[in-house]
Amino acid sequence: MHTSYLHLLTSKKNIKCYFFIAIFLLCTNLNQLFAQKTTALLKEKIERIISTKDMRVGVSILANDGQDSISINAEEHYPLQSVFKLHIALAVLSEVDKGKLSLNKKIKVTERELLPDFWSPLRDEHPKGGDFTIKKLIQYSVSQSDNVACDVLIRLLGKPKTVEDYFKKNHIIDNFEINYTEEDMQSKWENMFQNWTTANAASELLMKFYANGNNLLSQHSYDFVWKTLRETNTGEDRLKGALPKGTVVAHKTGYSGKNSEGITAAFNDIGIVFLPNGKYFIISVFVADSKESNEVNAQMISAISKATWDFYLEK
């Protein structure tokens, strides 16, 4: 075949190939623009919900297998409060997976450790203390937000910074700090601000341990921690508050109480909401410096969660 004719065919094939590549890239860009446009509508709705409230709010949402991302004030620092009990549980489970600890190992909790001013179902149920497995302590700490169990787990690891170091040294999340135990946080109002996170870091934590959890935890530890989060019985009026009855939400709450001026420093809920179509979205909402009532704080979080639920069911 003549060389010039071969060149012509090759050129036509190249043109055809370039054409299909161009169409593919155009469709990809259009899909991305469409996704950005539609999530922008959800973001605007959430901003309207927040705008009427006298508080500082951080929101981070990840959905569509991480392809959709919504951030509102999500790089500001917010007090973790009891949300950090999830971080502690994950750090403990890492030690379990290394064989350094066992979920069935019993830890003695003395009567002296059952501080009277703490929120502690463990203390209320066992006023003389007792021996509890690490598994039970994690369940108390995460599902019931027990402060006594939380500090026992921290002492088991070493100190609060040991928890922080686990995530940072393993390059899991970085934009947070844990400096104090529950006892130290509650001893002085200002201390809680030294245990902080961004909303984006909280959502990133949930994403990494849910979507890629088998790379970080054994299957047994993975199943255990998500079962424990699904059994959380605090903050039922927050992320779950406006969702249909029976909706599965794996979440962890945090709350500071109010100071003498009536300001709530932290009113939080982070978690994964599972949709009836088999999909899910990750959502982290942190309320700080709120002059509103706890009812208003909770209603605002539940409204954000419901708006996200509606958006992804209709999408």
Catalytic residue positions, numbered? 82, 182
283 contacts 308 by C-beta, under 8 angstroms: yes
Burial class (CB in 10 A: 0-12, 13-18, 19+), 181: buried
| CA atoms of 292 and 184, how far apart (whole Å) | 26
CA distances from 86 to 21, 145, 193, 312 (A): 45, 10, 18, 26
Closest by CA to 284, choosing from 211, 204, 214, is 204
152 contacts 126 by C-beta, under 8 angstroms: no
In order, the DSSP letters of 162-199 are HHHHHHHHTTS--SEE----HHHHHH-GGGGGGSEE-H
Structure tokens at 161: 């910074």
Structure tokens at 106: 């019993």
CA distances from 41 to 16, 37, 260, 307 (A): 38, 7, 39, 11
| CA atoms of 152 and 134, how far apart (whole Å) | 9
* Residue 294 parent element (H or E): helix 294-314
